[in-house]
């Protein structure tokens, strides 16, 4: 599920139920996700009040009243589900029935108001860890991370510096979170199609011989921003999983131009091409060979 728009959608769903609320108990239902939990993980979260829920790249960062930040990554198949307190529509019923848990519900946050937030992740590529707030910026996860695509820092000059001399494909360079964060296989494909740029061309080909931004960088950046903004507005893309915390689906997948559209006619006005699929660095690339150069 989660590239930047999906993670941002999850953040917006969780924010109202987490921010300013106390986590009275953390129910950890297995010893590991992608990585082992630290032995005292649940104890360190229990009793903390979440002061803010932020997003950095594809990570969720829950700052808490202690000196640690809860860092969460959804991997490929992670999702959160919010369950309101049981019996809220029946004030006379004080019997709070436990929300039914399924096989891949790995972590349950019990909130002070009786609601629960459940993390589900069938493939367990996601993870959670606690990092002291003071060490966050220098942590290995974030230290070498690239810039946010929706902020002011993404400029042609910045990308020229990252892409100069690089022989790797433009697609691989955009997926590399050390350059720009947040893009994944879907949104790289969509952005490159909109920009009319081939995923096969080298990253370095967007930079002049003297290391200055070539003419394609500015429009590519604008395209990346536009795609991400539209996807966030649509609540992300829902392929196999639910993107949103209330179980509803994002709908950006209905606006895909190339992703998962092999053999479909290219929708660019005047283009007679057909969307093709091939493997690049072990992952599927969708593109229109006729209009992406």
Partner DNA sequence: CGCATCCCCTGCCTGC
Partner DNA sequence: TGCAGGCAGGGGATGC
Residue positions annotated with a catalytic role: 2-3, 58, 283
Q: Rule CB under 7 A: is residue 100 a binding residue for DNA?
A: no
CB 11, min distance to DNA, A? 14
As beta bridge partners, residue 70 has 62, 130
CB 239 within 8 A of CB 249: no
CB 141, min distance to DNA, A? 6
CB 70, min distance to DNA, A? 16
Among 124, 201, 225, 268, binds DNA (CB under 7 A): 124
Cα atoms in the 13 Å half-sphere on the side-chain side of 8: 21
Q: Which of 166, 170, 276 is nearest to 216 (CA)?
A: 170
- Nearer Cβ to DNA (215/278): 278
Tokens of 139: 């942590």
CB 9 within 8 A of CB 250: yes
Among 12, 22, 34, 201, binds DNA (CB under 7 A): 34
Q: Which of residues 204-233 bind DNA (CB under 7 A)?
A: 204
Mention every residue, 6+ apart, whose C-beta is less than 8 A from residue 196: 268, 291, 292, 293
- Residue for token digits 């009040």? 49
End-to-end CA distance of the chain: 29
Q: Rule CB under 7 A: is residue 264 a binding residue for DNA?
A: no
Per-residue x/- marks for DNA, 228-247, CB under 7 A? --------xxxxxx-x----
Q: Which of 59, 65, 69, 56 is nearest to 20 (CA)?
A: 65
Dist. CA 293–CA 32, nearest whole Å: 44
- Nearer Cβ to DNA (40/262): 262
- Nearer Cβ to DNA (238/292): 238
Among 11, 55, 73, 106, binds DNA (CB under 7 A): 73
Q: Quick one: how far is CA 264 from the chain centroid? A: 27
Per-residue x/- marks for DNA, 162-201, CB under 7 A? ---xxxxx--x--x-x------xxx---------------
Q: Rule CB under 7 A: is residue 283 a binding residue for DNA?
A: yes
CB 87, min distance to DNA, A? 30
- Nearer Cβ to DNA (20/211): 211
CB 57, min distance to DNA, A? 6
Dihedral of CA atoms 200, 201, 204, 208 in degrees, nearest 10, equals -170
CB 180, min distance to DNA, A? 11
Dist. CA 53–CA 71, nearest whole Å: 10
Give the interface with DNA as residue ranges (CB under 7 A): 1-3, 6, 34, 57-58, 73, 75-77, 103-104, 122-125, 141, 165-169, 172, 175, 177, 184-186, 203-204, 236-241, 243, 281-284
């Amino acid at each position: 599920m989660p590239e930047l728009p999906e993670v941002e959608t999850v953040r917006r769903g969780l924010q109202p139920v987490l921010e300013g609320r106390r986590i009275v108990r953390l129910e950890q239902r297995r010893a590991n996700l992608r990585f082992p939990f630290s032995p005292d993980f649940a104890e360190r979260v229990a009793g903390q009040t979440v002061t803010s829920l932020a997003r950095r790249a594809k990570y969720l960062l829950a700052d808490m009243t202690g000196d640690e930040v809860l860092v969460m990554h959804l991997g490929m198949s992670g999702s959160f589900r919010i369950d309101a307190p049981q019996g809220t529509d029946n004030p006379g019923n004080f019997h709070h029935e436990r929300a039914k848990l399924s096989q891949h519900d790995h972590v349950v946050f019990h909130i002070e108001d009786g609601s629960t937030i459940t993390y589900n992740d069938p493939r367990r590529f996601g993870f959670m860890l606690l990092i002291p707030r003071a060490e966050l910026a220098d942590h290995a996860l974030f230290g070498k991370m690239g810039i946010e695509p929706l902020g002011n820092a993404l400029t042609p000059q910045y990308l020229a510096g990252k892409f100069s001399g690089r022989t790797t494909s433009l697609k691989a360079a955009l997926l590399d979170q050390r350059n720009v964060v947040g893009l994944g296989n879907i949104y790289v494909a969509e952005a490159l199609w909109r920009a009319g740029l081939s995923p096969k061309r080298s990253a370095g080909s967007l930079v002049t011989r003297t290391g200055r931004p070539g003419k394609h960088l500015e429009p590519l950046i604008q395209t990346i921003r536009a795609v991400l903004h539209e996807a966030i507005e649509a609540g992300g893309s829902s392929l196999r999983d639910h993107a949103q915390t209330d179980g509803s689906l994002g709908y950006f997948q209905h606006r895909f131009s190339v992703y998962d559209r092999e053999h479909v006619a290219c929708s660019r006005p005047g283009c007679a091409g057909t969307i093709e699929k091939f493997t690049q660095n072990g992952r599927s690339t969708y593109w229109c060979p006729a209009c992406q150069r």
